[in-house]
Amino acid sequence: MSRKIVITGLGALTPIGNDVPAFWKNAVAGVGGIAPITRFDASLFQTRFAGEIRGLDMDAHIPPKEQRHMDPFCQYGIIAAREAIKDAGLDMSRENPWRVGVIVSSGIGGLQILQQQWSNYLGRTTGPKFTPFMIPQMISNILPGRIAIEHGMKGPNFSVVSACATATHSIGVALDTLRAGRADAMVAGGAEGTVLELAIGGFNAMHALSTRNDDPAHASRPFDRDRDGFVLAESAGIVVLETEEHARARGARIYCEMAGFGESDDAHHITAPDPTGEGPAFGMRTAMEDAGLNPSDIDYVNAHGTSTPLNDAGETKAIKMALGEEDARRIAVSSTKSMTGHMLGATGAVEAIACALAIHDGVLPPTINYENPDPACDLDYVPNTAREMKVRAALSNNLGFGGHNATLAFRAYA
């Protein structure tokens, strides 16, 4: 379990960029991706905006016939995986396919196909007629299966589902798989495609979403006093992890070390975080211990930072608890969800990419829309403008319904 694991490939499809260079350029520039919904008529909903993937020519990536056999989350994940694999320079014709695996997941899975098929059924006057692709389109694990089929990867292959902590758990399990010697390289991350009526309606019923319809561009405002809920978004994020030996042997470019993984559960409530912050704090401490890091080594935390009243205050408390008051006030904390919105099961992977690039490029993405400080959120949130800074080590937090907490630890590669 002591072998070093590194990140060699990145792939992303987000509301602020349809590949990693565009995503990172806009994240550093503080560009927001939240706008009125265009996918459907949202006029009857309490929330009428979201973080949509825009300007994507899907036909250029996936033939129309194949698209009809996939839910959007699967399409997005396939595109991001291709980018990450290409970025890593991972040539499967030179690899032992049994030593390359895929752990890519979705928090919700094929919700759009479920909505479409049920709508078709309700409109019929004769017997039910469903597409034979409905079940394969819905299940979350079809995405790692499709990635493996396309690239010929025959190693460990499955999904890990933990709501908004899904992609973080997926990367953490991939890390442990490599450390245990069960693979040489792993493709890991998450994808989500739920900007649709069922998702907006369901989250509205929970009073979880922002309803700032008169100003959607400023609706996602983590840690700000006037935050009123998260902004739903769609996305995919994929990373390629490898053992250091494997990466160096093939001359791969290394972004950073994937150093540690921590996890816990609040055991408190199905949707609300434990206000004590003990669960996320335990996850952060465990990730640091796993990485051999001390709080004094951490320079940056990419927060879950959802822009909800309970999450942001509780996570602030958890960061102080995990790192100690002095180090918590020294480090920089930011939420890229202020720009992307909340990408649910994909969010952890996109935010892992932000951490890898923050370390590699020496720049921290900001928390935009931070205008009115909240006394309950009193850390350095890198407000509104990116910051050039050498980052020795970073943490990325994600919390999911069910009380799931997961943290990844990253370290500069040396």
Task: Please report which helix (H) or strand (E) contains residue 158, including its range.
Answer: strand 157-158
The predicted structure's pLDDT at residue 223: 98
Q: Which of these, 172, 180, 195, 144, lies nearest to 404 by C-alpha position?
A: 172
pLDDT band per the 50, 70, 90 thresholds, residue 64: very high
Percent residues over pLDDT 90 in the chain: 96
Collapse the DSSP code of 344 into the 3-class scheme (helix H, G, I; strand E, B; otherwise coil) and give the result. helix
40: tokens are 């459907």
* C-alpha–C-alpha distance, residues 59 and 199, integer Å: 25
pLDDT surpassing 70 at residue 37: yes
94: tokens are 């030179």
The 10s digit of each residue's pLDDT in 337-358 is 999 999 999 999 999 999 999 9
Work out the burial of residue 309: count CB atoms within 10 Å of its CB; fewer than 13 is exposed, 13-18 middle, 19 or more buried. middle
* C-alpha–C-alpha distance, residues 187 and 202, integer Å: 31
The predicted structure's pLDDT at residue 381: 98
pLDDT surpassing 80 at residue 294: yes
- The overall average pLDDT reported for the chain is 97
The predicted structure's pLDDT at residue 3: 87
pLDDT surpassing 80 at residue 105: yes
The predicted structure's pLDDT at residue 226: 98
* C-alpha–C-alpha distance, residues 117 and 113, integer Å: 6
The 10s digit of each residue's pLDDT in 381-390 is 999 999 999 9
pLDDT band per the 50, 70, 90 thresholds, residue 413: very high
180: containing domain: 5-411
10 Å Cβ neighbour count for 297?
Answer: 16
The predicted structure's pLDDT at residue 211: 98
Residue with tokens 């199905």: 270
Residue 343: CATH number of its domain: 3.40.47.10
The predicted structure's pLDDT at residue 2: 64
220: tokens are 């996602």
The 10s digit of each residue's pLDDT in 256-273 is 999 999 999 999 999 999
10 Å Cβ neighbour count for 206?
Answer: 10
Percent residues over pLDDT 70 in the chain: 100
Kindly write down the DSSP assignment for every residue of 19-54, as one continuous string.
SHHHHHHHHHHT----EE--SS--TTSS--EEB---
pLDDT surpassing 70 at residue 362: yes
Mean pLDDT of the 109-124 span: 90
The 10s digit of each residue's pLDDT in 127-155 is 778 899 999 999 999 999 999 999 999 99
The predicted structure's pLDDT at residue 16: 98
Number of domains in the chain: 1
Collapse the DSSP code of 287 into the 3-class scheme (helix H, G, I; strand E, B; otherwise coil) and give the result. helix
Q: What letter represents residue 207's amino acid? A: H
The predicted structure's pLDDT at residue 124: 74
Residue with tokens 């434990």: 274
Mean pLDDT of the 97-104 span: 98
Task: Please report which helix (H) or strand (E) contains residue 262, including its range.
Answer: strand 256-265
Provide the 8-state DSSP code for 273: P
Kindly write down the DSSP assignment for every residue of 375-411, as one continuous string.
TTB-SB--BSS-EE---SEEEEEEEETTTEEEEEEEE
* C-alpha–C-alpha distance, residues 217 and 315, integer Å: 24
The 10s digit of each residue's pLDDT in 154-177 is 999 999 999 999 999 999 999 999
Q: Which residues carry out catalysis?
A: 164, 304, 342
